[in-house]
Amino acid sequence: MKKTKYKKVFSMTGELGLRNYTVKDIIDIKGDRQLTQTLPFTPNEAKAAEDAGIDLINTRFNYLKQETAIEIRKSASKTFMSFVIPLLSVPTKDDALKHSYKAMELGADGIIFQGSLNHIEALSNAGIPVQGHIGLVPRKSTWTGGIRAVGKTLDEAKALFQNLKDLESAGAWAVECEVIPSRLMRELSSRTSLVTISIGSGNGCDVQFLFADDILGASEGPFPRHSKQYCNLFREAQRIQKIRVNAFKDFIDEVNTNTFPSNKFEVEVTEEFVERFCNYLDKT
């Protein structure tokens, strides 16, 4: 685990805490070196990411079911963390502000939002650090022709550049850039003030982002082409499941053959004690 110097910060609620980075730190690092980012799905994954020294963490935030985000925030309390606001939960600017303020109250350091520029501008005007999303935006993929790379034509490349400028004007500080050709992304990143976050867009961005599920190989797959698995937790989980099944089978077999429980697992009293007790019962 790398050694980290933490900074004192106040949250929007006035709570004092420690963080590895602030928004200003991340902006100042732009163009100097790449940071790492992941999105864990469990508190244990979040703690492992912080213990390993992952720079930035995202977590999905459901306004109505906040428990997981709260636990993930607690499990990685010193890591800069952005809360992802579900697109369909915030149809209006007032909804976006309400949900984002709640996320900040629960310990978010920033908000990730895939909604309209008007919503992003409203959050920025409220002093909330807000990040946009360009390229392949899965929930808006019908506009870009499905799940595919974006930016392989000149018109698409021009549109991506305009997207960056629009986000700058709306007050965003960072942008997730998904499945954009790496050479194009390198040029785009050097021509924007936004902190650029690559997920499948090469190494020309300021941050490299992969989901924890992809890093850990936590599902059966298939995995996205741009992702790399650094271990195979799915295979390990299958192995552990077999161990569970075999243990239950062994328990059943021992009960059926009257070998469990044996004396080792029973509370003993003397034969004399039992005899005295039986005599008492016989006289009752």
pLDDT tens-digit readout, 92-126: 999 999 999 999 999 999 999 998 999 999 999 99
CATH number where 119 lies: 3.20.20.60
Q: How many CA atoms lie within 13 A of 250 on its CB side?
A: 6
**Any domain includes 2:** no
Q: What is the pLDDT of residue 4?
A: 73
Quick one: tokens of 72?
Answer: 């993930």
Specify whether the CB–CB gap between 67 and 88 falls below 8 A: no
Full domain range(s) for residue 279: 236-283
Give the domain-ending residue among 189, 211, 231: 231
Active-site residues: which are they? Answer: 178
Specify whether the CB–CB gap between 60 and 108 falls below 8 A: no
Q: Are residues 164 and 260 in the same domain?
A: no
pLDDT tens-digit readout, 165-181: 999 999 999 999 999 99
pLDDT tens-digit readout, 78-87: 999 999 999 8
pLDDT tens-digit readout, 190-210: 999 999 999 999 999 999 999
Specify whether the CB–CB gap between 59 and 40 falls below 8 A: yes
- Predicted TM-score (pTM) above 0.85: yes
Q: Is 233 helix (H, G, I), strand (E, B) or coil?
A: helix
Average pLDDT, integer, range 14-23: 96
